[in-house]
Amino acid sequence: MAGLWARLRGRRSPPPDASSVTDVFADAAIAREDLEPAARPPTPPAQPKLRRDYVASSPQAARERQQRRSDGEFAACLDADALDVAALRRLAWNGIPNKRRRAQVWRCLLRCEASKRAERREHAAARRAAFHEAVAAALLDVPASERDPGDAQMLRQILVDAPRTCPGSPLFAHDRVQALVVNVLYVWAVKHPASGYVQGMNDLLAVFLVVLVDEVSEGDHVDVATLSDDVLDDVAADAYGLLNGVLESLDDHYVHRQPGLQRTIEEVDGLLRRVDADLHKHLDEVGVLLLQVTFRWINCLLVRELPMRCAIRLWDTCLAEERGFRTFFPYVCAAFLCHFSDALKAKPTEDVHLFLTSLPTSNWADDEVETLLSEAYILSTLFRSAPAHLQHEPDGITPCGGFL
């Protein structure tokens, strides 16, 4: 694009210099002051003065103004008598600038909140009461000695995983939050026996808890000790609803043999063969199975690969998609892998595995995520309407590590 503009600029005629203008008047044997007033060039109109806050503003200031305008659009959409979900999806796709509004937007996108504003309070109260009754029925009303052996084993695994959720985060080190994690995961698992609890679900729940705690916290500092039991009970119920919305849309990712997850890996493999055949071949030659690379990415929706703030921004867009993570996420994974293409192709065999298990994303911020989403969107526009292109193998290239 820059080259195009340079060529266009190069075709413009250069402005005349002062001497050439003087020569024109001299050749015509007239002086400028001899021109009649009516024949003089019109005086350009005075330019309006720009507001002070729009003059020479920094990119950060411009971004903040855009965020304020965008937040106003979210407020208008959410405050309407009847929610326009399609309009909300369009807004959320580009990110939700107000972290205290994000939880409500996500609840609406995942159908956890009533579409009519007048019904939302009553709907939320009923949904939360149903969750608390489910917790009592699953945990409080069942003596340990009478618990089903399968459920007891599942509960033990959840109790092990809860303290491991987001290690190093003060929020998840709090006993009340860990108890909340156990309650939500166990109730969901009991209600969905086809899959039960699968390790990695705690990472998905962590994202929802961060977003929901942001909604009820004052200021940027989150202190769980200042939150009442009633507030945390509501957070737990809302987290259950959000988690249920995502997991039900990906139900075949967590059942026996995980067919949905394997299908997504196949789609990522097809994309990689098409858009970066050299990287695909390199991974094949060094013995890296695509299953090894992408299983955790897809199972945990990149929560473990990205800083929390980046995962949340990524989820804004994925949740805004019509079918959520199911259709858009393969393009995100392919773009994410291609982002590190040069570094991977330059590494010897012994370093590729180590690099992929500890990707250099700790310093990522919004700009990197926006680039990733832009690249994923380009892939989706190229291949979403022509999935057959992903099933044909170019000559000389075999599926990564022979997985497929």
> According to the 3-state scheme, what is the secondary structure of 352-399?
HHHHHHCCCCCCCCHHHHHHHHHHHHHHHHHHCCCHHHHHCCCCCCCC
Q: Is residue 14 in a domain? A: no
pLDDT digits (tens, 9 = 90+) for 36-88: 444 445 555 554 444 444 444 566 676 677 777 889 999 999 999 999 999 99
Q: Is residue 29 in a domain? A: no
Q: Is residue 235 in a domain? A: yes
Boundary residue ending a domain (49, 82, 117): 117
Distance CA 211, CA 199 (A): 21
Sites in the chain below the pLDDT cut of 50: 1-40, 47-56, 392-404
Residues 181 and 141 in one domain: yes
Q: Is residue 35 in a domain? A: no
Q: Please tell me the predicted confidence (pLDDT) of residue 58.
A: 65
Report the domain count for the chain.
3
Residues 270 and 396 in one domain: yes
Residues 87 and 211 in one domain: no
Q: In this structure, are residues 94 and 71 in contact, taking their beta carbons and an 8 Å threshold? A: no
Which residue has tokens 């987001």? 166
Boundary residue ending a domain (249, 277, 312): 249
Residues 169 and 298 in one domain: no
Q: Is residue 20 in a domain? A: no
In terms of Cβ atoms closer than 10 Å to its own Cβ (0-12, 13-18, 19+), residue 298 is buried
Residues 294 and 195 in one domain: no
Which residue has tokens 């022509």? 386
Residues 83 and 127 in one domain: no
Buried-exposed string 321-346: b where 16+ CB fall within 10 A, e elsewhere: beebbbebbbbbbbbbbbbbbeebee
Residues 188 and 292 in one domain: no
Q: Please tell me the predicted confidence (pLDDT) of residue 46.
A: 54
pLDDT digits (tens, 9 = 90+) for 141-166: 889 889 999 999 999 999 999 999 99
Q: Please tell me the predicted confidence (pLDDT) of residue 234.
A: 97
Residues 216 and 129 in one domain: yes
The domain that holds 156 is classified in CATH as 1.10.8.270
Q: Is residue 147 in a domain? A: yes
Q: Please tell me the predicted confidence (pLDDT) of residue 277.
A: 95
Distance CA 287, CA 281 (A): 10
Residues 175 and 135 in one domain: yes
Q: Which domain holds residue 107?
A: 69-117
As given in the structure block, the two tokens for residue 87 are: 């309009």
The domain that holds 78 is classified in CATH as 1.10.10
Distance CA 382, CA 374 (A): 13
